[in-house]
Structure 1
Amino acid sequence: MAFTTRPELRGTFGAVSSTHWLSAAVGMSILEKGHTAFDAAVAAGFVLQVVEPHLNGPGGEVPIIVTPAGADKPVVISGQGPVPAKATIAHYRGLGLDIIPGTGMLAACVPGAFGAWLTLLRDYGTAELEDVLAPAIYYAENGHPLVPRIANTIAAMRPLFETHWPTSAETYLPGGKAPEAGKLFRNPELAKLYGELLKQAKKAATREARIQSALDFWYRGPVAERIADFCETEDVWDVSGRHHRGLITADDMAHFTPKVEAPVSTTYGDYEVFKCGPWSQGPVLLQMLNILKGTDIASVDPMGPDFVHLVVETAKLAMADRESWYGDGGDVPMATLLSDSYADARRALIGAEASFEVRPGTPDGRNPPMPPHRAVGTIAQPGLGGGEPTVAKEKKLPNDAAGEPTLTREGAQRGDTVQVSTVDRWGNMVSATPSGGWLQSSPTIPGLGFCLTTRAQMFWLEEGLNSSLKPGVRPRTTLTPSTVYRDGVPYMAFGTPGGDQQDQWQLVMFLRHVHAGMNLQEAIDAPSFHTDHLPSSFWPREINLGAVTLEGRYGEDTRAELARRGHKLTIGDDWSEGRLSAVARETAGTSLLLKAGANPRGVQGYAVAR
């Protein structure tokens, strides 16, 4: 039996897994009221915006994979908002920029999360809008106990808030002080906004009309007006070392509707794995599975050096294709990228030693367009400079996970992501990976209590790439929830925060579950790893060739063998790789068994099942 920090939870009524215990508990409370996994996911998602504001917010985004009971395949709701109509390469180049800043207003996209959650609620759920918003309003109004990472993030951002982002100081420095971990933290402005929204929505006659009224309030009413006004009038400091205004207009907000799409998928033995399309990095997981089909991955030690080497070398190839071919609005050769013949050709490139090349493929004989490669630490960044405050580095916490918010340069702190997965007794399932609108991404907008996503930093300012900046298209996001069918029946919903590492960690968990017989919790708990041999999706878009990070629980023999093969190793903390959440369902005749597991890293993720 593999080591596990807690049992795999099992039941027959419902299961919720999330990156924060309050979110999981709220999701289960919705199920207890007789509602569905869809309603539970929405309520849990709104709570995550309140209790993990350094990792997601109302001004962020969320891709959602929705699996109605008995469906032949899932549906994807894209809550990834596009860039504004004014966002052109010429505009940014005219400002003297060759890369989109990772903070401030220039990287702001239309906030898509609200629209996606309400689309899920309206089209698939049963609960009233007030039911799913009530827990978030409660925690925003009455307070929630602040986890240490949020307190550390706010403390690190304090000089920037006080000097450049005064509206954020009003929200996150109550009484002029950084809040303490474990103490109650409130966001009364957000609670008031949701109250205004519900008051307006209640005037409508039907459930669907009330939800639509809320969407109008957000995208064509007071919320849109406040966002547009802030973008038009406020000069905001960002990591370029200068002040810029945002580009979002009321028209950009009004024209946004979450896209409802078919997923992409591949088969792997008895399993079919579904992901969002190439506007996300989701197909990376599918490409990796296709490559690994023809290897001995099923028989190697899942904790040994052969397993790590195979997965890392496979990830390098799939990530190279991501950089060359993925994007929204581009000509993506998805069918070829997911074909067996293409996987065969890519698999043949894996050698016995670590590769230090970036090797995108040539699907359909096409030459791969390549973004610039910026080696780690070689890109000059201005920081705050000029006598302006320097943001202190965040203190290291026990069990800090890779992918949590980190200071990338002076004055810049990157946020991460959250996850919620749900399943109910009827067989409905959801996997959602919310992110963006981090408290450290851009200033809080007065009257709203939240800030905007900076996801546009994932575009390139070079012409001719599938991920080149284009007005009105979605950034190629790192957000990538997963859903798996087994023997043609919905089986598992899962995902993780972690930026570029998300599909790497999900692959490791899935392989160990499928081939090593680990249950969900064991597969989540097992030591993990990732490679940074890829251009980062986040400012300043650097690449670290040959780099592999292992959790400290890997033994000396494994480390030595990987080093012998040429991998540039970094040994992280014992519990530092991944924040996975997963639920699953099994049927045997008329019997139903629901399962759940949650990440112990960071000591805040929990699952609930009964």
Structure 2
Amino acid sequence: MVARSTLSHDRIGPRGAVSSTHHLGTAAAATVLARGGNAFDAAVACGFVLQVVEPHLCGPGGELPAVFVTADDPAPKVLCAQGVAPAAATIDRLRGAGCEIVPGTGLLPATVPGAWDGWLTLLRDHGTWELADVLEPALGYAAGGFPLVPRIPAALDTVAEHFRTHWPSSAATWLPGGRVPRPGEIVRLPALAATWQRLLGAATGPGREARIDAARDAWYRGFVAEEIERFCATPVRDETGLDHTGLLTAEDLAGWSSHYEDALVADAGRGWSVAKCGPWSQGPVLLQQLRLLSGVDVELPGGIATEQTVHAAAEAAKLAFADREAWYGDPSGWDVPMTDLLSDAYTDARRGLIGAGSDGGLRPGSPGGRKPRIGAYAAHPGAGRGTGVEGPGTGEPTVSREGVARGDTVHVDVVDAAGNMISVTPSGGWLQSSPTIPALGFCLGTRGQMFWLEEGLASSLAPGRMPRTTLSPSLALRDGEPAVALGTPGGDQQDQWQLCLLLAMIHGDLDLQAAIDAPAWHSTAFPASFAPRGWEPHGLVVESRLGADTLAGLRRRGHAVEDAGAWALGRMCAVGRGTAVPGGGGPGALHAAVDPRSGVGAAIAL
């Protein structure tokens, strides 16, 4: 079985490198780099373009986390632009609305939109360009039109009748003449373009930073916040089959802003370490998996993982994600024992639970002697089935149990010659998950579906609390020096597909493109983050390129193996710098690679 990686290698250039999930976003970022902008300018320009050209995967009403280093400071930092639950969002309020879990669609799961503040904060603090300049490519596509990638009409087809019947503002935006548009058809978003023009008109002040802050204020303390509150007062149909008003108010937006924090960094073996966002994201599960596998013989002959390696990785994932369920949440309202979870003693004890066969249980640990707690809903396998959810299944367009990689968000990585490097995973505000706000031209996010409606859990719903997000950008260091920025869409799969890449790069000595191309896999044997939130004991989704003998061996070990096909899992992006990246290139070489599985991503080095 020969991997495609034998035929493709990294793009390499001296001035900059960018990789994103859509070629138009990559082109916008590369243009910024070519015109003298830095990695942050380029990432912001790309991020806004992705809101237009991949609206089924991210939007202006969504959120983002970023992990980055600057040319002046190689210590990894995180920007958290994940919005919080509204002040009115309580467990009793949603239970009273007839919800057993937070719906995945409509207005009830909306949190404060974080993307605008996040992008503008990065631009203000670390970029060099004016807001109008980085927004220009996206504004051009919104006003002038952009071609629909095939998955947008496919997504619209699943919700078209719902739009016509219940969400007329979405039908007016996305169903020209009442029909589902064709792949490649040019679509314009004039209402979104007008919103951006109005925000730019508010961006006044004596200096660049002041102008950016004025545009932030116009969103969170101006006309955007006012229009969001007005729209949320109108009941709309969600996947419960009922009409509900939203909970967001202008006051919720006015009191929120993104923030910086130090990244979590853990050893990944062979001189590598990985930096991640904190436990308000699922990011630490990647660190836990890497730590668990540090005591296991990882074998990838020819870039293809062996049966034993896939088995060990799957079991490590189950243990790490069980800990996610028991312990991860917004640390401002929950004691997350992160130091204990990543400690040698705890990791060694947990590694001892990896046996020769698949374990079908949900086994959170007891870090520091604490007693874990799993909610009643999450504790039962397959709990998401038969819950009365009636909608078209649009709470989050992620990978199905059958292994069909539909994608769920977007990703962008950029590095420049000065040493700035950033990895960002924007998401939320999906066109098919919440109705379009007609006066603004975008919809709200539904990230609140990741809360539990049960008191006393790590991710219980509470006013002003961040949901535990799946969004999980990464930055890898080699011998302490920033080397690679990477990430992928994929919901719960993000930190498993990233693990596949890192194992191939670190233990298989593959370059970025070859590591992305290597056969991937992921476990589904833990509670899903998205409605209806079920899980599959022993569930393991794999690519057939692992080989028939490996798949048969995994089944003998007790894994419920689902063959997703040869090229099905992941939409990885990655950039790297210098000789730290396997595969050659001098000290000034900048690398870019992108996943061929989606067909629309692109990587450019210049």
* Cα 1:254–1:423 shift into 2, 3 Å: same
1:54-203 correspondence runs (5 A): 54-201=56-203, 203=204
Aligned to 1:592: 588
- Is contact 1:321–1:360 with CA below 8 Å preserved after alignment? yes
* CA positional deviation for 1:376: 2.7
What value does the CA root-mean-square deviation take over the aligned residues? 2.1
SS state of the match for residue 278, structure 1? coil
In structure 1, how many angstroms separate the alpha carbons of the residues matched to 2:306 and 2:287? 23
SS state of the match for residue 506, structure 2? helix
* Cα 1:50–1:299 shift into 2, 3 Å: closer
Aligned to 1:228: 229
The residue identity in structure 1 corresponding to 2:458 is N
In structure 2, how many angstroms separate the alpha carbons of the residues matched to 1:384 and 1:314? 34
1:52 to 44, 54, 61: 54
Aligned to 2:534: 542
* Cα 1:222–1:152 shift into 2, 3 Å: same
Alignment pair present for 1:211 and 2:212: yes
Alignment pair present for 1:268 and 2:272: no
In structure 2, how many angstroms separate the alpha carbons of the residues matched to 1:403 and 1:199? 40
2:373 to 369, 386, 392: 369
* Cα 1:529–1:238 shift into 2, 3 Å: same
Q: Which moved more, 1:64-73 or 1:247-256?
A: 64-73
Unaligned ranges ≥5, structure 1:
406-415
Alignment pair present for 1:604 and 2:600: yes
Alignment pair present for 1:340 and 2:341: no
Alignment pair present for 1:358 and 2:366: no
Deviations 1:464-489 (A, max 9, x none): 11101111011000000000111121
Aligned to 1:439: 431
Aligned to 2:254: 254
In structure 2, how many angstroms separate the alpha carbons of the residues matched to 1:401 and 1:383? 21
The residue identity in structure 2 corresponding to 1:282 is G
* CA positional deviation for 1:547: 0.4
In structure 2, how many angstroms separate the alpha carbons of the residues matched to 1:297 and 1:365? 30
- Percent identical among aligned pairs is 52
Aligned to 1:411: none
Deviations 1:478-503 (A, max 9, x none): 00000011112110100000000000
TM-score by length of 1: 0.94
Aligned to 1:518: 510
* Cα 1:401–1:71 shift into 2, 3 Å: farther
The residue identity in structure 2 corresponding to 1:457 is Q
Deviations 1:8-40 (A, max 9, x none): 101111000000000001000000110100000
Alignment pair present for 1:382 and 2:388: yes
* Cα 1:572–1:331 shift into 2, 3 Å: same
Unaligned ranges ≥5, structure 2:
none
The residue identity in structure 2 corresponding to 1:290 is R
Aligned to 2:27: 25
TM-score by length of 2: 0.94
1:412-431 correspondence runs (5 A): 416-431=408-423
* Cα 1:37–1:142 shift into 2, 3 Å: same
The residue identity in structure 2 corresponding to 1:254 is A
1:8 to 10, 21, 34: 10
- Is contact 2:403–2:563 with CA below 8 Å preserved after alignment? no
- Is contact 1:337–1:363 with CA below 8 Å preserved after alignment? yes
The residue identity in structure 1 corresponding to 2:95 is R
The residue identity in structure 2 corresponding to 1:599 is D
1:314 to 310, 313, 316: 316
Aligned to 1:279: 280
SS state of the match for residue 73, structure 2? coil
* CA positional deviation for 1:96: 2.3
The residue identity in structure 2 corresponding to 1:241 is G
* Cα 1:464–1:378 shift into 2, 3 Å: closer
Q: Which moved more, 1:244-253 or 1:88-97?
A: 88-97
Deviations 1:353-404 (A, max 9, x none): 011111100011111011223433763243559xxxx799xx999xx97452
Aligned residues between the structures: 591
Aligned to 2:451: 459
- Is contact 1:421–1:581 with CA below 8 Å preserved after alignment? yes
- Is contact 1:374–1:541 with CA below 8 Å preserved after alignment? no
1:479-498 correspondence runs (5 A): 479-498=471-490
- Is contact 1:76–1:276 with CA below 8 Å preserved after alignment? yes
* CA positional deviation for 1:70: 4.2
2:553 to 549, 561, 564: 561
In structure 1, how many angstroms separate the alpha carbons of the residues matched to 2:102 and 2:164? 24
In structure 2, how many angstroms separate the alpha carbons of the residues matched to 1:336 and 1:71? 28
2:564 to 549, 562, 572: 572
SS state of the match for residue 465, structure 1? coil
Deviations 1:223-267 (A, max 9, x none): 0000011112x1010111101010001110001110211111101
SS state of the match for residue 543, structure 1? coil
